[in-house]
Amino acid sequence: MSQQGYVAAPPYSQAQPGGYQGGFGHYGGPPQAFNAPQAAGVMKSPASSPAGMPPPSVPSQYNPNVQQNGAHPQRYASPSAASPTYAQPSHSVYNSMASPAPPPTQQLTNQMSAINLGSYGSMQSPLPPPTASAHPGRQSTHMSPQMAPPQSPLINMQASGQPMGGQSMAGPPMGGQSMGGQSMAGPPMGGQSMGGQSMAGPPMGGQSMAGPPMGGQSMAGPPMGGQSMAGPPMGGQSMGGPPMGGQSMAGPQLPSGPGTFQQHGAGPTGPASYPQQGGQFGGLMSGPQPGMPGGFPGAPGPLAGPPQKKLDPDSIPSITQVIEDDKARLGGQVFSTNIRGQVPPLVTTDFTVQDQGNASPRFIRCTTYSLPCTAELAKQCQVPLASIIKPFAKLPKNEAPLYVVNHGETGPIRCNRCKAYMCPYMQFIDGGRRYQCTFCSCVNEVPAFYFQHLDHMGRRVDFYERPELSLGSYEFVATLDYCKNKKPPSPPAYVFMIDVSYTNIKSGLVKLICDELKTLLEKLPREDGAETSAVKVGFVTYNKVLHFYNVKSALAQPQMMVVSDTAEMFVPLLDGFLVDYQESRAVIYNLLDQIPDMFADTNESETVFAPVIQAGVEAFKAAECSGKLFIFHSSMPTAEAPGKLKNRDDKKLVNTDKEKTLFQPQKGVYEQLSKDCVAQGCCVDLFLFPSQFLDLATMADVPSHTGGSVYKYNNFQVETDGEHFLRDLRKDVQKSLGFDAVMRVRTSTGFRATDFFGGIFMNNTTDVEMAAVDCDKAVTVEFKHDDTLGEETGALMQCALLYTTIGGQRRLRIHNLSLNCTSQLSEMYKCCETDSLINFFAKSAYRAILNQPVKNVRDILVNQTAHMLACYRKNCATPSAASQLILPDSMKVFPVYMNSLIKTAPLVGSAELCTDDRAHQRLSVMAMGVEDTQLQLYPRLIPLHNVDVGSEAVPAPLRCSAERLTESGMFLLENGHSIFLWLGQSSPPDLIQSLFNVPSLAHLQPGHMFALPELDNPLSRKVRSIISELLEKRPNSMKLQVVRQRDKAETLFRQFLVEDKGLHGGTSYMDFLCFVHREIRQLLT
């Protein structure tokens, strides 16, 4: 029988119950199976269809038409009862990833015969056995630093043997990295790759060995994939030049100086003790050979050879390594945006942007910088096409702020047909009298005032003098046509609304807020170059009723007006409610002193909430301005009034089809409020201080549709949480932002924006409305094809944001970006950006849980991961043993992020988690940019015990796993929302003394410590500076939690170690990778 359909498949090629089952249902498409054509003459065993399911009935081949990518408006298709895609296994896969499987180590050994991180297409050809000159136990690497092939990103490899590209360098050559459970240090063992069985035969499965790697043929020509030819080497071939990412080089390489590898002993034939083997390891193999272990699942193997050891976690791709490599390659450099479709450095790398015609990656990042030319290709690979746009991103001091272009009365120049704004992509023709729009091809007249001659290259002579012709990002001053009612806008206002119910007075919160506002109001945001802020301020306190304050500068004392009819909300005063802080400072100070005393004896514990927002909207309407409400609130609004809520927290719904209701806001009043707020340009920022459930999903609905933020401080105490809250408040009040914003994304012909995710409101399908947009908020935009894209013309997008500045000026902020288009999937994968992809997946999954069972969403995420990687394997990698896991270089750490996403609170489905916290995390992520989701899903774990106190640098982060912690170590972990200082049990006393001023760890009281004492020694100064730098850099404040090893509080810390098993369910990274590998193999068989 033909060997074809069966190459060296380890035993787990059969599906095991308890896994994610079935074919793949794309978010928008009907669930379909993914069947590769079977090898002729091989009967597919029934065991390979998922347990408990009929074999998929759809006979579709794995071809470009497999998945429908755009026909369905709803991204996650609702599961149909009959669909095999969502077949529910007997119990949740996330609590036990592969239940009836062997123990983890062994299972892993069985599952990953080999990992290979290929850049494009480079899978090993089968290799001959090693020669006598191979050096056992010496370092072997499989990628060369100098020269990656033109299409694969350069991989920097130091010779010091740190694992690169997820490969372990110490130990046996792992040429397509066969990881059959062998020890990673020590001589190459024969037969490492097979199903975890060790044997004393020749090395197999694409191991790296000395000798030209050829398809079993030895010849004296150039060593190519089994054939000699005079062209450039191809994917999968070994060459005298650089191996491609993931290719195996001839012979173990021995480091000889940084970054260079010598090649040793590539002899044509092996020593006599290694006879040339047929089959996958040499020539053709016609069936199982005697003494060859594991050619087929279940084939017995001899037990010769050293005993198996645990698989080395260093051999699988590492995010920290990828980040460090990118920093080493691109850190500190200038990134010029003059090339279409170039992939920028990672968000974690420090670099300077020079705008030369495309928007900075700080403003726009994409899931891929090379779009597939056709909808068919996009369906085939299932890589989502999306941009993450952060229109107000902060720019570092060494980058120029955006230029402002003012064309006076005529306003910005736009295409007559598609309304795109003048930008570097417009083509001037006819001696400069007309221009052709590159978005829609319409030819427009150039207005007389704008005319300029063209040079010999057809470019305008004033090209470099006009930002809109030479830069990717700039602003236009908008004319009255762009203003509401054709009137210039008023400067925005900030209204502070303080809940003065019993709990907030007793906790000291009200006094804390009033004291802080005295100094904070001095720092209101202002226009660049302005002496003072134009922002007006107003004050409201409330419990069951609302108190408005007149703080007009002419008054000696502030006046209070009470509105008790909360059903018909109105603002009782116009003049004196919103005032200029500088003019009314004395009256405001007076008021802030009085508020805590005025309510000191209150017993009122009931509050209203919706009328408070309504009051803010009415105030802005009356003043004809936009603005922001800062609401400080502590409990569920239970007083009789519109928007009254009742407790609907029900843990019994977790892991049922009704779990989605826990994330859905209660309809009615709050829905209408969101509309009113957006129409008026009223943004809501909510500071919550709950001691029990308060239905955050509903209360945060308005902030999440108006571009606002939600901050939450559980069981707030002034002593422990006060500083943490005040840091958030200061950042929030001082943020630079735009008000009353409308954003539209235009694209060149062939594709268009179809879906938008973020803290936004949409009245129609194209206009993204935001009551305000600040420097931390991002909108994720998904694109779909509506025609074929051309490789020559590329694809263009223009994001135009109309908004009111903090000084009350109406402006248009324009960001332009040009991308490549390709008909080669390998090129598309090469230009992918993992951090952007995971931002997109997080947002689309978090939206999907509003309409679907959480378990279905998890299944879809895993299936799509497998699908994207299977498509790469099938179309871009050269054929190789099915037992090898091959990942595209640009996505090699994608599984780590995906596994971390599936373990996040909103998706994990555990009754132990607080419903409000899950809803809070869901809403926070919806508005995040790429750097924030990256950090949220892969926290930084920084070792501090061996920090160099003399250096400016922060120590390099370690992989997020408990295996990296040491008993004598001290580690800082942060993810942008939480920050921990973990102390090992054997931490040296002098370290503890230097940091905490106590003689030993036993004297420490971590529960009472939320900041490090200011001690005058180098270590204390260094650690405090690292922490304060992090707090400064992140959008949110973080409360430091000091954790001792094996204390009760350590469990909280451990849930952030995302490469390990999840606390509330969810698998380790290693197990997830095996699982995905199994899914990929199932898709391909």
pLDDT: is 632 or 87 the higher one? 632
- Residue 756 to residue 389: CA distance in whole angstroms: 10
- Residue 1058 to residue 391: CA distance in whole angstroms: 31
- Residue 305 to residue 207: CA distance in whole angstroms: 17
Is residue 445 pLDDT above 60, yes or no? yes
Q: What residues contact residue 180 under an 8 Å CB cut-off, 6+ apart?
A: 109, 113, 114, 191, 192, 193, 194, 195, 196, 197, 198, 205
Burial class (CB in 10 A: 0-12, 13-18, 19+), 466: middle
Q: What residues contact residue 252 under an 8 Å CB cut-off, 6+ apart?
A: 134, 135, 138, 139, 140, 173, 188, 208, 209, 210, 264
Is residue 124 pLDDT above 70, yes or no? no
Residue 468's pLDDT is 97
- Residue 23 to residue 84: CA distance in whole angstroms: 7
Residue 803's pLDDT is 97
To which H or E segment does residue 983 belong?
A: strand 979-983
Residue 311's pLDDT is 66
Residue 878's pLDDT is 84
pLDDT: is 202 or 674 the higher one? 674
β strands within 209-300, DSSP E: 253-255, 261-263
Q: Residue 883 — pLDDT band, cuts 50, 70, 90? A: confident
For the stretch 376-435, pLDDT in tens is 999 999 999 999 999 999 999 999 999 999 999 999 999 999 999 999 999 999 999 999
pLDDT: is 695 or 82 the higher one? 695
Is residue 566 pLDDT above 60, yes or no? yes
Q: For 310-314, 402-406, 838-842, which range has the lowest pLDDT when averaged over its residues?
A: 310-314
Q: Which of 671, 641, 670, 676 is nearest to 567 (CA)?
A: 641
- Residue 190 to residue 281: CA distance in whole angstroms: 11
- Residue 735 to residue 707: CA distance in whole angstroms: 13
Q: For 116-125, 618-627, 662-671, which range has the lowest pLDDT when averaged over its residues?
A: 116-125
Is residue 605 pLDDT above 60, yes or no? yes
Would you say 396 and 352 are in contact if contact means Cβ atoms under 8 Å apart? Answer: yes
Residue type, 318: S
Residue 765's pLDDT is 93
Q: What residues contact residue 1050 under an 8 Å CB cut-off, 6+ apart?
A: 982, 1043, 1044
**What average pLDDT does range 571-577 have in this prediction?**
92
**What average pLDDT does range 537-556 have in this prediction?**
97
For the stretch 162-202, pLDDT in tens is 333 333 333 333 333 333 333 333 333 433 333 333 333 33
Is residue 479 pLDDT above 80, yes or no? yes
β strands within 835-903, DSSP E: 884-888
For the stretch 277-298, pLDDT in tens is 333 333 333 333 333 333 333 3
Question: C-alpha distances in angstroms, 30 versus 62, 68, 73, 82, 736?
Answer: 15, 7, 12, 12, 44
For the stretch 215-266, pLDDT in tens is 333 333 333 333 333 333 343 333 333 333 333 333 333 333 333 333 333 3
Q: Which of 86-90, 117-121, 298-302, 994-998 has the highest mean pLDDT?
A: 994-998
**What average pLDDT does range 840-850 have in this prediction?**
98
**What average pLDDT does range 25-49 have in this prediction?**
40
SS3 content of the chain, % helix, strand, coil (to 5): 25, 15, 55
- Residue 866 to residue 745: CA distance in whole angstroms: 31
Residue 1008's pLDDT is 79
Please give the structure tokens belonging to residue 679. 């129409």
Is residue 99 pLDDT above 90, yes or no? no
Is residue 268 pLDDT above 60, yes or no? no
Q: Spell out a b/e string for 35-49, using b for 16 or more CB atoms within 10 Å of the CB, else e.
A: beeeeeeeeeeeeeb
Is residue 158 pLDDT above 80, yes or no? no
For the stretch 736-769, pLDDT in tens is 999 999 999 999 999 999 999 999 999 999 999 9
Is residue 708 pLDDT above 90, yes or no? yes
Q: Which of 70, 768, 707, 814 is nearest to 384 (CA)?
A: 70
Residue 109's pLDDT is 38
Q: Residue 206 — pLDDT band, cuts 50, 70, 90? A: very low
pLDDT: is 200 or 553 the higher one? 553
Residue 766's pLDDT is 93
Q: What residues contact residue 1041 under an 8 Å CB cut-off, 6+ apart?
A: 978, 979, 980, 981, 1006, 1010, 1049, 1052, 1053
Is residue 130 pLDDT above 80, yes or no? no
Q: Residue 82 — pLDDT band, cuts 50, 70, 90? A: very low
Q: Residue 310 — pLDDT band, cuts 50, 70, 90? A: low
Is residue 467 pLDDT above 90, yes or no? yes
**What average pLDDT does range 477-491 have in this prediction?**
94
- Residue 503 to residue 1064: CA distance in whole angstroms: 32
Q: Residue 62 — pLDDT band, cuts 50, 70, 90? A: very low
Is residue 617 pLDDT above 60, yes or no? yes
Number of H helices, E strands in the chain: 23, 32
Would you say 564 and 545 are in contact if contact means Cβ atoms under 8 Å apart? Answer: yes
* DSSP three-state, residue 859: helix
Residue 880's pLDDT is 86
